[in-house]
Amino acid sequence: MVRTRLRCIIACVLLAGALAALPTQWAQAQTGRDAALQISWEVRNRFRLFREERDFQLHVESARDRSILASEQALELQSDGRGWARNMVNRLCIDLSGRVNEPCSRDNVKESYLTPIDHPITVRLTGAVPVGAICTWSFDDGDGPQQSTFDC
């Protein structure tokens, strides 16, 4: 009993020491004069099981500001009670017996389901973007930087 209590006290002291050693302010990105502008990005079609991004986006939109149960109920209403998966079950990177399709054609691009060579992303400039502003984006995928210029 005494040993267990002593171990508990020691563990609590070690945990408190570790928490005290954490920085009080987390690291942040450096910001310049235009701190209101930010780059936001996300991986497209993050759930690799879906062949088409629209199936993933259906779940993203359904879950926005809802609990899991409320999301399921919203999907049920959209499918008239026939099951939200019925329309997408044939658009998965597995067949009906559960075998992985190799390669899998995702958004009309054939790729390895298990070992893809890249992950498409969407990048946006958010904040108070000046009207008519032009942005030059530079991305380096390992083969050297590539630049593109677009309206912000």
Domain boundaries, the chain: 42-123
pLDDT (tens, 9 = 90+) of the chain, 152 residues, equals: 555 555 545 544 444 444 444 454 444 454 555 458 889 998 888 888 999 999 989 988 999 999 999 998 988 888 888 888 888 888 999 988 889 999 999 888 899 988 888 888 888 888 888 888 898 999 888 888 889 998 88
**In this predicted structure, what is the pLDDT of residue 70?**
93
Q: How far apart are CA 129 and CA 50, in angstroms?
A: 34
Is the pTM above the cut of 0.75? no
Q: How far apart are CA 107 and CA 64, in angstroms?
A: 23
